[in-house]
Amino acid sequence: MLDMCILDILQQDARTTNKEIAAKLGKSVTAIFERVKRLEAEGYILGYTAVLNKHKLGNALVAYTSVTLETHGHDRLSLFEKSMEGFPEVMECYKMSGQFDYLLKVVVADMEAYDQFYSGRLSKLDNIRKIRSLFVLAETKHEFGLHLKMDFINKIENRTK
């Protein structure tokens, strides 16, 4: 459970120092340092990042784009996925079950930029059958972290206050 507490603290603020985590959890800095290193080595922590304001950086349009492919052989799926890695507009790419094959989260400056991406790059890929786009009007909830056994974490935090 200590690991879950460490993960929760870090996903709330990745700049939290080992010393601050140790103080919050009543552990030594060395113990926290070793646990964080182990969590990184075991792949629980994939990296650390800053959350940027897309509007201030001129990327105000978010589109969720579904893509249906013509054929679904392993090589064709891999080729599509590799293509998505080369498109900086595509922030997320999910292989889906159901009505379409992939769901993309595309972030661009405006509708003109989306049209350039859509007609100039995405629709020109081989093996595309259908593309549908939904545009975000307003973001009402956006969470970055996972909910990690919050009852236990809240008990620990209340005990250390």
Q: What pLDDT is recorded for position 150?
A: 60
Same domain, 45 and 91: no
Can you give the pTM of this predicted structure?
Answer: 0.81
Q: Looking at the domain assignment, is residue 16 inside a domain?
A: yes
Whether 91 and 107 have beta carbons less than 8 Å apart is answered as: yes
Q: How do residues 70-83 score in pLDDT, each as one tens digit? A: 999 999 999 999 99
At 14-56, the pLDDT tens digits run 999 999 999 999 999 999 999 999 999 999 999 999 989 998 9
> Whole-angstrom Cα distance, residue 154 to residue 146?
15
41 shares a domain with 12: yes
Decide if 108 contacts 117 (C-beta within 8 A). Answer: yes
- Per-residue confidence band for 147, with pLDDT thresholds at 50, 70 and 90: confident
- Strands 61-69 and 102-108 turn out to be antiparallel
What was the pLDDT predicted at 66? 98
For residue 21, give the CATH number of its domain.
1.10.10.10
Round to whole Å and give the CA distance between 136 and 65.
11
The Cα 57–Cα 73 span in angstroms is 39
Domain ranges, residue 118: 61-135
Q: Where are the alpha helices (DSSP H) in the chain?
A: 2-12, 18-25, 29-41, 74-85, 111-117, 150-160
Tell me what pLDDT residue 108 has. 97
How much is the pLDDT for 70?
96
pLDDT value at residue 112 = 97
- Give domain status of residue 145, yes or no: no
CB 139 within 8 A of CB 62: yes
CATH number for 87? 3.30.70.920
pLDDT tens per residue, range 99-133:
999 999 999 999 999 999 999 999 999 999 999 99
Regarding whether 79 and 39 lie in a shared domain, the answer is: no
Other CB atoms within a 10 A radius of the CB of residue 43 amount to 7
The total domain count for the chain is 2
Residues 80 and 45 in one domain: no
Sheet holding 90-95, edge to edge: 90-95, 102-108, 61-69, 128-135
Task: Give a yes or no: residue 157 inside a domain.
Answer: no
